[in-house]
A and B are shown apart, each in its own frame.
Chain A
Amino acid sequence: SQQGEEDPQALSIQEGENATMNCSYKTSINNLQWYRQNSGRGLVHLILIRSNEREKHSGRLRVTLDTSKKSSSLLITASRAADTASYFCATVPTDSWGKFQFGAGTQVVVTP
């Protein structure tokens, strides 16, 4: 069953704006990862945050993790048209190491 739930389901913004999406999950996790998927393609790993970390940065990406609320957020700053894609969070529950559970995804459209 899918554990992560992303919100919003869809997001439409203009180039230069920031995009924020959230992910909630239900069980204890080892880590949480964010992936990007362009239409009809495979997934590209963006960033991993471990359960003992609260915030992580990678280029224009900022990820936060709040294990008490069982939620994470992904912020893309200064978005570009090339950021148009679906973004998924994947959790790795502590009781099923290696088995990713994906959320439903947030579809982001960045218009020039």
Chain B
Amino acid sequence: GAVVSQHPSWVICKSGTSVKIECRSLDFQATTMFWYRQFPKQSLMLMATSNEGSKATYEQGVEKDKFLINHASLTLSTLTVTSAHPEDSSFYICSAAYLTQETQYFGPGTRLLVL
């Protein structure tokens, strides 16, 4: 299947700093990328959908100024958690899809810990 990578795999930062997470589709061009958040022992919650070259669509309750998403190319999307606080600590997972979006290919996730 298609390969999606995320970087970094884990990050620890101080409260108030910004953190950027990269999501790359390695062997296909992703027309759409999705960003999810997962709390321990819980399911994935969709945060936003990003299409290459256009603004991301955020789910209800997700602050767009807090979670900046950029999808500059067909193989790269970034999520920036701005002015991170301890409550932003979570597991962030991206996925990538091509055209029909019937199947999404997931990255390995990024664990963020804000102290």
The answer to the question of B115 belonging to the interface, with a C-beta cut-off of 8 Å to chain A, is: no
Chain A contact residues, CB within 8 Å of chain B: 2, 30-31, 33, 35, 40-45, 48, 88, 92, 97-105, 107
Some 15 contacts from A to B, beta carbons below 8 A apart, are A31-B102, A40-B109, A40-B111, A41-B108, A41-B109, A42-B4, A42-B93, A42-B107, A43-B93, A44-B106, A45-B104, A48-B103, A98-B101, A100-B104, A105-B42
Chain B's closest residue to A43 (CB) is B106
Assess whether A104 is in contact with B101, with CB atoms less than 8 Å apart: no
Q: Which residues of A contact B43 (CB under 8 A)?
A: 2, 88, 102-105
B4, B45, B103 interface centre (most CB from chain A within 10 Å): B103
- Tell me the bound Cα distance from A50 to B102 in angstroms: 10
Q: Is the interface of A mostly helix, strand, loop or mixed?
A: strand
Chain A residues contacting B32 (CB-CB under 8 Å) are: 98
A98 and B109 in contact (CB under 8 A), knowing A31-B102, A88-B43, A104-B43? no
